[in-house]
Structure 1
Amino acid sequence: MEDEQENIRGFLVDHCSDQLSSILLSPDTRLHYPLLLEFAELLDSNPKLANSVFNQPALYLPKFDKGAKEAQEILRKELKSLRNASVKDYVHVRINICGSPLEFPETFPSIGRVRVKHRGILLTLKGTVIRSGAIKMVEGDRTFECRRCKHRFKVSPELETGNSVPKPTFCPSEKQKYCESTSFKLLEENIVCHDYQEIKIQESTQVLDVGAIPRSIPVILKDDLVDIVKAGDDVIVTGILTARWSSDMKDVRCDLDPILVANHMRRTNELKSDVNIPDDTIMEFKKFWSEFRDTPLKGRNAILKAICPQIFGLFTVKLAVALTLIGGVQHVDASGTKVRGESHLLLVGDPGTGKSQFLKFAAKLSNRSVITTGLGSTSAGLTVTAVKDAGEWMLEAGALVLADGGLCCIDEFDSMREHDRATIHEAMEQQTISVAKAGLVTTLSTRTIVFGATNPKGHYDPELSLSVNTTLSGPLISRFDIVLVLLDTKNPEWDAIVSSHILAEAVAEKGSDENLQGIWTLTMLRRYLHYVKASFKPVLTKEAEKVISSYYQLQRKSAAQNAARTTVRMLESLIRLAQAHARLMFRNEVIQQDAITAILCIESSMTTSAIVDSVGNALHSNFTENPDQEYVKQERTILKKLACGEEESD
């Protein structure tokens, strides 16, 4: 037993001396300090001890905490610089399993696969925080003294009965034979209290099979672990699985509910943007663009064709989806206000125009995504709600909060609740949700791309404004960078092209990947979008600035029908879309071509056009044979119209 404690002490002195030194030098003796320990190092150094920790953590973790205190005393004696430092009583060893050989399904199960066999071992779970409770203060060990033999002993609180400390029933003294005393005195001066918080984590919907219900499990955080995560965070928790009696209600059977007592917690939000892209993949991207140096737009279209390849044509929609997912560059203006970089996209269209398919495909391309309907899948809906759990109010995160840092796809956008309609304005523009419910006043972060889809109310009337056709308010529509209207008009030529394409796909062999344009598979496309988003921060050139400014002024003049769209927000949208197009084209500066493409995107989302003679139906937009030649014509037309507009204003 003493040898084991010596091994623990020796390991901590050898591998954690830097952390222990900083703990010794800390001024506050009442704080709880974490001591991070890599399980892989322990396994290399002492496999037998590592095995004991894994199989009996409830027994060995307190030994490690005791060893940490003893290791501090050893270091203080050895190092002169630490002679005046104080030994801290509350040091907790936190074991990090990630990166060790234990990272396999048996010890790293999904939350839905947690079973009785996992009880008592060091278990690691991965999920998203959906609720975070209030921080409470709970009593730790109590010290009792036997009135007969004066033996002192500690009694720990029982988690099963709700952290209450049971009264001892007999004296555990081994000094006197059979001290049968049942009378004990509580020593008040030795009571230690701990910070205590309960959170609930739910398994990520992206790893679930279709039809599976995401399971959740409560997690107990103590001392230094409290208040380090909030609703919407992705976490990896290592701890001990135990059980707690469910609340006793009349005529309801009292069961044991599983609960995880956390030992180590790590947020993985920051890791989301760092998608692992191999160097050879980056070389492939550069090689691809060097091949299309003379015809860059043809190269761009090859990438766009890989977006939702099962849908024929719809060039405008595929371009809009790519630009929305890439987004612009976030910046802070002179007053310190953040101007969002994320773009929002709304598809308004008749049934059967492929809106939901685009939503599903966009969710696959994004590293973090939530798909929901306007009504919302839970009581939390799209934003956030206050729920009462065991007599305590806590916040439950909705779809927009859970998608923070990713993409939120909302189908049936027009059918959202009134409460969500009021809150989504702030969530889309300021990228926060301010909550004041049941005494809980807070602000949650929603740095998310919103991709909405809705059907028009009845038959779409081109003569009326978007607000009337969709029953969405003007301020809400103005927050969308692109609004595309997909009308299912009867066009015999288009119907013939589409039907022949679908039939050809049905006849073709399943193994053929011709329509994926060579290298652009789903994985490559996903990597490409993440790479350009992380690597490029495009800046506007003078030519691009002039084009965007002229177009904005022209739209403001002829804004009779599009009053909801032609606000200052439209100018910001143009900049964001131009930056996104520059990123898509593998460039670090926004040139005139990017500005004109942004204008064409905005034009296709206007009910009446200020520039292009016929806006056309986005549903019937197809990929052209020579996009670069086509662009030259469009550029000439747009620049001519903008020049005329400037002359008129003079």
Structure 2
Amino acid sequence: MTDLPAAVKPLAAFLVRRHSDQLRSICLSPDSKLHYPLYVDFAELMEDDPPLARLVFSQPTEYLRFFDQAAVWAHKVILGDLKDPEIGIKKEFIHVRIDICGSPLECADTFPRIGCVRVKHRGILLTLKGTVIRSGAIKMYEGERWYSCQKCRHSFLVYPELETRNSIQLPSYCPSQRSKFCGGTKYNYLEGSITCHDYQEIKIQESTHVLGVGAIPRSILVILKDDLVDIVKAGDDIIVTGVLTARWSPDLKDVRCDLDPVLIANHVRRTNELKSDITIPHDVIVNFKQFWSDFKDMPLKGRNAILRGICPQIFGLFTVKLAVALTLIGGVQHVDASGTKVRGESHLLLVGDPGTGKSQFLKFAAKLSNRSVITTGLGSTSAGLTVTAVKDGGEWMLEAGALVLTDGGLCCIDEFDSMREHDRATIHEAMEQQTISVAKAGLVTTLSTRTIVFGATNPKGRYDPDQSLSVNTALSGPLLSRFDIVLVLLDTKNPEWDGVVSSHILFEGEPEKDETDENLSNIWPFPMLRRYIQYVKENFRPVLTKEAETVISSYYQLQRRSATQNAARTTVRMLESLIRLAQAHARLMFRNEVTRLDAITAILCIESSMTTSAIVDSVGNALHSNFTENPDLEYITQERLILEKLRSFDEFPDIEASTLGL
């Protein structure tokens, strides 16, 4: 209807030069009415034409429209160049999506925290990182439309204004660029010229990892249009690039009308699968391999060196540190014969007297995980833990809770016993099926919760060893059976232990320490431990050997026969827990094969979490478990004891208990 603006031609030339492949695939797509994205890297544009790149950054509202027009024009050029033009179809809507990540613009001014967004950021191309906490329904709105001046017949496009909730404001005078000023004030709407757009509102919140203590995480509304709608859901981590603007809040009774900041998205990237928070350089991986090469003949001593790095401020508690490591690493998710997914994530529950360091382990585990939320049972309603339906501006939306926000991460719940009965029931499905089914306010959906649950609770009154775990914790059997490991930490009066612990606390940081311990703790500082856990989770998928399968199967049958008090814990879930823990230990030991050593260690973990052991009578209190000087030698004794117990089964072959050659 009108000639293309001068700014469109260099943009179109850039697209034809650099993105002809994308334009060709758009030409060959069959649907002419769809909105197609065309992805452009800002660093590439900056390299090709710096002045043009600066204009796109500083005046995005205008130049992103020019870019879209240039994309349509460039695609027509490519369409004409096709050998067989009949196979190509002319498209009406192509949107250029600009990715700033990795470009020179990735700095504090253009990549601020959500809480640091200010008026100075308005009108420039801005990039924000956060977690989707709310996703609205997909709507349709009327976008740009054509008008013509009654006086000079000049046709022009009018765009809706977001500030006044997409209302159309006609210009005061005819915007024609002719030499003689028109001055017309009356316009005719051109029939059938309205372009309709898909429209969705989401709310993103900044990650708690970037906040200091006492800071409240801020959130901002993001508007998605056309091909961007419905590509993210509640709980997703995203990086969104767009234009910051403002709009008037809804006119409600007795509520002041304010301008709310809004980001109109141009490019959205999901970062759930990207492990960008933890970078693992090649030299660090070489160090890992060298470490295991050094401990080839003493693998368990090497393992204990790693475990010493977990919560180093707490003395001893070897069993708890091993359980935390195995829980964070987890097993391998697989699909069974019926097509049902069997979870790979493990869950851990610490039951103990006050002052036994439960909350310390929770906080340290949360720091080790690249995605985590810490909450308390009493402080969280079922909505705060799972998902809630909220009404915003007359529309119902789903808002994600702690378990959904930690999808693919760790959810730490302190004071687990103080949850209301209704709230406990809501996390049953989240822990086992790893989904949350929602049916609230007409919104029926299923959300993903592939999260590790790490709970801590005090026993109900004085812990009674003669009673079952359900009675002592006031937690139901079905809920307890979902935890792979339940460790009991009892603060019994042991003068020897009290003396050692007090010495550790009083002389912490002093130079007079055992040299070997000092060397071992220096090998695994916190950043390296975090990288190690991430690396073994991503790169190892251990497979069970026949020997390990036989050990696990025999132990499970023995437990089923001898289970009296812990009948709720001794279910098929315990068998799955054994497999997960054995796989996690194989990963911890830097292996892709689950050996007898891993199976025996998994059994020892399960034995430690049982109040009455089927095999090891001298497991003792997990609180008083300490690191031994020669773990490999001690393991041989434990292995012999377990194998002798299991040898009573015909299914178990006669295996000599000997040191494992790894």
Q: TM-score, normalised by structure 1?
A: 0.95
Which position in structure 2 is the counterpart of 1:638? 642
Q: Indicate the residue corresponding to 1:541 in structure 2.
A: 545
Please tell me whether residue 363 in structure 1 is matched to residue 366 in structure 2: yes
Report the 3-state secondary structure (helix = DSSP H, G, I; strand = E; otherwise coil) of the residue aligned with 1:611.
Answer: coil
1:93 paired residue among 93, 96, 102: 96
Alignment of 1:83-482 (within 5 A): 84-147=87-150, 150-166=153-169, 171-172=174-175, 179=183, 181-182=185-186, 184-272=187-275, 275-376=278-379, 380-482=383-485
Question: Structure 1 residues 615 and 22 mapped into 2: Cα distance closer, same or farther (>3 Å)?
Answer: same
Equivalent residue, structure 2, for 1:585? 589
1:532 aligns with 2:562: no
Q: Which ranges in structure 2 are unaligned for 5 or more consecutive residues?
A: 653-662
1:6, distance to aligned residue in structure 2 (A): 2.2
- For residue 164 of structure 1, report the CA deviation from its aligned partner: 2.2
Structure 1 residue 11: deviation in Å? 0.5
| Structure 2 CA distance for aligned equivalents of residues 431 and 35 of structure 1 | 35
2:554 aligned to which of 526, 550, 554:
550
Distance (Å, rounded) in 2 between the aligned partners of 1:326 and 1:475: 24
- Shift of the 591–52 alpha-carbon distance from structure 1 to 2, 3 Å rule, reads same
User: Which moved further from structure 2: 8-17 or 370-379?
Assistant: 370-379
Q: Cα distance, 1:275 vs. partner?
A: 4.5
For 1:478-497, list aligned pairs within 5 A: 478-497=481-500
Q: Structure 1's 281 and 149: CA in aligned 2 closer, same or farther, altered over 3 A?
A: closer
CA distance in 2, matches of 1:253, 1:440: 30
What is the alpha-carbon distance in structure 1 between the residues aligned to residue 509 and residue 334 of structure 2? 47
Which string of whole-angstrom CA distances, capped at 9 and with x for unpartnered residues, describes residues 258-288 of structure 1?
A: 0000011111111128943222212211211
Q: CA deviation at 1:558?
A: 1.5
Separation in 2, partners of 1:143, 1:6: 22
Give the secondary-structure state (helix, strand or coil) at the position aligned to 1:518.
Answer: helix
For residues 333 and 390 of structure 2, the distance between their equivalents in structure 1, rounded to whole angstroms, comes to 34
Structure 1 residue 628 corresponds to structure 2 residue 635: no
Q: Which amino acid aligns with 2:308?
A: K
Per-residue CA distance 1:516-547 (angstroms, 9 max, x = gap):
62321111111111212222221212221221
Q: 1:53 aligns with which of 56, 63, 79?
A: 56
CA deviation after TM superposition for structure 1 residue 150, in Å: 4.5
2:40 counterpart of 1:37: yes
Count of aligned pairs between the two proteins: 646
Aligned to 2:569: 565
1:365 Cα deviation after fit: 1.2
Tell me how far apart the structure 2 counterparts of residues 531 and 160 of structure 1 sit (CA, whole Å). 47
CA distance in 2, matches of 1:286, 1:388: 54
The amino acid that maps onto 1:242 is T
Which residue in the other structure is 1:21 paired with?
A: 24
Q: Which moved more, 1:516-525 or 1:427-436?
A: 516-525
Residue 625 of structure 2 aligns with an amino acid whose one-letter code is: S
In 2, the alpha carbon distance for the partners of 1:424 and 1:2 equals 57
Contact map agreement 2:135 2:234 (CA 8 A) in 1: yes
- Alpha-carbon offset, residue 153 of structure 1: 3.3
- Percentage identity across aligned positions? 76
Query: 1:303 touches 1:525 (CA, 8 Å); kept in 2?
Result: yes
Distance (Å, rounded) in 2 between the aligned partners of 1:470 and 1:21: 64
5+ unaligned residues in a row in structure 1: which ranges?
none
Whole-Å Cα distance in 1 between the matches of residues 163 and 7 of structure 2? 30
One-letter amino acid matched to 1:278: P
Cα offsets for 1:26-50 (capped at 9, x unmatched): 1111000011111111111110000
Letter in 2 for 1:270: E
The residue type equivalent to 2:47 in the other structure is D
Query: Does the CA-based 8 Å contact 1:273-1:530 persist in structure 2?
Result: no
Deviation at 1:83, TM superposition (A): 5.7
The Cα of 1:614 is off from its aligned counterpart by: 2.6
**How far apart are the structure 2 equivalents of 1:179 and 1:152?**
14
Q: Quick check: 494-503 or 149-158, which moved more?
A: 149-158
Which one of the candidate residues 589, 595, 610 is aligned to 1:606? Answer: 610
Residues 1:66 and 2:69 aligned together:
yes
Aligned residue for 1:105, secondary structure, equals coil
**1:167 positional shift:** 5.6
Residues 177-230 of structure 1: CA deviation (Å, up to 9, x unaligned): 554544x44333111110000000111111111111110000000000000000
Q: Is the 8 A contact 1:330 1:338 kept in 2?
A: yes
Alignment partner of 2:568: what SS? Answer: coil
* Contact residue 152 and residue 184 of structure 2 kept, 8 A: no
1:549–1:249 distance in 2 versus 1, CA, 3 Å: same
* Aligned counterpart for 2:83 among listed residues 80, 83, 92: 80
Deviation at 1:644, TM superposition (A): 3.6
Give 2:580's match in structure 1, choosing from 566, 576, 586.
576
Letter in 2 for 1:75: I
Q: Which residue identity lines up with residue 266 of structure 1 in the other structure? A: R
Q: CA RMSD in A?
A: 2.2
Give the C-alpha shift of residue 609 in structure 1.
1.1
Give 2:656's aligned residue.
none
State whether residues 37 and 94 of structure 2, in contact with CA within 8 Å, keep that contact through their aligned partners in structure 1: yes
Matching residue's letter, 2:527: T
Q: Shift in Å at residue 575 of structure 1?
A: 0.9
Q: Which moved more, 1:448-457 or 1:268-277?
A: 268-277
**Aligned residue identity for 1:640:** E
1:488 match: secondary structure: coil
